[in-house]
Amino acid sequence: MFNAIKNRAKKIAEDTKEAFYEGLDETPTPQEVMEAFKIFGLSKEASLQEIKSQFKALSKLYHPDTKSNSDSEQFMRIKEAYDVLKLHYKST
């Protein structure tokens, strides 16, 4: 029974990883990756979990639906930077 649970958890993790990278086919350039890290204010050694946390925090700050004075252009830059970093981690 323990093996069945373990196998199910492994399948869920694999499906989640596939969904995370779904629709991402290009490989980002090193300049795009460095710019994305700069937007997030993180070092290039940051883990994917740190990037996710920073993305959530910045999204809350700049999302157009959260505040009337939010910057939708900045939100789009953050979203694009997150996509670049996901691609970067997919290719490594």
Q: Is residue 78 part of a domain?
A: yes
* Contact between 27 and 87 (Cβ < 8 Å): yes
Q: Is residue 8 part of a domain?
A: no
For residue 26, which amino acid is it?
A: E
Task: Check which CATH number belongs to the domain holding 86 and give it.
Answer: 1.10.287.110
The tens-digit pLDDT sequence of the chain (92 residues) is: 566 665 665 666 565 555 555 555 578 889 999 999 999 999 989 988 999 999 999 988 888 777 666 677 888 899 999 999 988 887 76
Q: Is residue 53 part of a domain?
A: yes
What is the number of domains present in the chain?
A: 1
Q: Is residue 6 part of a domain?
A: no
Please give the Cα distance from 52 to 47 (Å, whole number).
Answer: 9
Q: Is residue 85 part of a domain?
A: yes
pLDDT of residue 64: 79
Q: What is the span of the domain harbouring residue 85?
A: 26-91
pTM for this predicted structure:
0.67
Q: Is residue 18 part of a domain?
A: no
